[in-house]
Amino acid sequence: MTEVVLDGESLTVAAVVAVAREDATVAVSDAARERVRAARDRVEAVLDTDEPVYGLNTGFGDLVDTRIPRERVADLQTNLVRSHAAGTGPELPREAVRALLLTRVNALVKGYSGVREVVVDHLVTLLNERVHPVVPSRGSLGASGDLAPLAHVARLLLGEGAADVEGASDGEWVPERLPGDEALATAGLEPLGLRAKEGLALVNGTQLTLGLAALLVHDAERLCRAADAAGALTTEVTMGSTVPVEDAIQRVRPHAGQAASARAVRRLCAGSEVVESHRNCDRVQDAYSIRCLPQVHGAVRDAVAHLRAAVETELNSATDNPLVFPAGDISRHTSGTDAADVVSGGNFHGEVLALRLDYVRSALTELAAIAERRVDRLLNPHVQEAHLPPYLTPESGLESGLMIAQYTAASCLAECRSVSTPATDTTPVSGGQEDHVSMSATSAHATRRTLGWARTVVGVELLCAAQAAEFVEEGLAHGDGTAAVYDAVREVVPPLDGDRSLAGDIDACDALVANGALDAAVAEALGSASLAWDQDR
């Protein structure tokens, strides 16, 4: 994807990833530009009436009843941006800033925000020229939008604050931090003087939460696929049964995620001589962490799908306040002229994302929990299969093998659990005017951390399952997909032939999931049939 065309209607999760991580360029459609110009004309028409309209010529929040004279309206917008740029904490990573910028532009070009076209063009240029405002990550309450982070972005348009400007050096893009006005100049931009409604349109919206959530959806879907792959290899090398993933079992409990994870394991293990070698053994059942893989992994898939649905809607929604409509769109004319209605609502409230992010965070914690239990079954001499040596080293006792890898997985699981408490709480602000907030950005940050820890646990399972494969009877072939999983791990981690530091091995397996290499290896091995296990691609 080399260019993403924004029209306010068709932005996708894949496009957010392309712009945020792959530096796809951005353009705005002609139809969207026309809507932006029309909305601005409506704002100007309302200003000419001199009626009091929130966001145009009144104070904000608790100061809503304070009337601003016409000659101070521009000052009002500038003051709003400066005062709301009150963030703190670690800076947002590059990809989060780009996702925030992209989603904000798409919301503006829906044509209900009332900004001038030049404001949109400045934001697009920042993306295309790799000029990234410095944005503290904390300060949003997820209602009235992600105010503080968005204000730090808007501040750059004034020529204030700071930005990381990327220039090419020896074929690589190297960032240099510059003051706001100098950063704009590198992109050929002049600082903007904001006009009526523009400051509020820039800082009102769910775009920090949304940008993070869009990236999370992409990463969580990838992690679900990796967990299925790791679980399939573990099932195989522990001589587990694939009967629990048979289609008939899923048909009588037809949850979409469960069916997808079961289908994944079937395809990954198809053709496995390891599985066939014990098909008629006397074992009746496997432990839940293997037997109930479709039910647990599938429930996580369903949670992520629920978040995706909200993100896909939110990506193409107008989320600032007030919104500018043509006259007649609102059944009760509240403010404006015969040409426009400017109305206050609550589309900036992030609850629809906050609740689902909390849900996904709990789901990812469960994914880490079941993966850690499978790690224990691979390593623990009290529960592992007879063909596996304790801690997967033939000289256990003299050597600890992969014993401490499980400690690391358990530690990461504890990290997941430490932030699994729902973030959706409320603290009234702005003199009680904003008396219920969503804390959606807090949930997004916490879910991002949880996803990272859960991915490490799955990486540990991949590491241990690949090592267990070294003790499977020689000559037995892996499945069509599990062979690719094993080979992908061995591309980055050699077999354990004696005690060594495992830190690099764990990091390499984590990266194998994070960078999509495991996804690619399985897709290549299964060919077009990969779609049978990968419902998200």
Displacement of CA 363 from its chain's centroid (Å): 14
What is the rounded distance in angstroms from the CA atom of residue 103 to the CA atom of residue 311?
Answer: 11
Handedness of CA 485, 489, 495, 499 (dihedral sign): negative
What is the rounded distance in angstroms from the CA atom of residue 252 to the CA atom of residue 426?
Answer: 41
CA angle 378/221/412 to nearest 5° reads 45
The answer to whether 330 and 341 have CB atoms below 8 angstroms apart is yes
Q: What are the DSSP calls for 290-319, one per residue?
A: HHTHHHHHHHHHHHHHHHHHHHHHHTTS--
Selection from 508, 507, 515, 458 nearest residue 21 by Cα: 515
Q: What are phi and psi of 128, to 5 degrees?
A: -70, -30
Helices (H), 85-158: 94-108, 117-128, 147-157
Does residue 112 have an active-site annotation?
A: no
Selection from 237, 175, 193, 218 nearest residue 463 by Cα: 237
Which residues does residue 167 pair with via DSSP β-bridges, in sequence order?
174
Selection from 374, 378, 386, 379 nearest residue 281 by Cα: 386
* Helix/strand/coil for 328: coil
Rounded to a whole number of angstroms, the CA Rg of the chain reads 27
Q: Which of 54, 359, 391, 486 is flagged as catalytic?
A: 54
Pairing assessment for the beta strands 136-138 and 172-179 based on DSSP bridges: unpaired
Which residue numbers are catalytic? 54
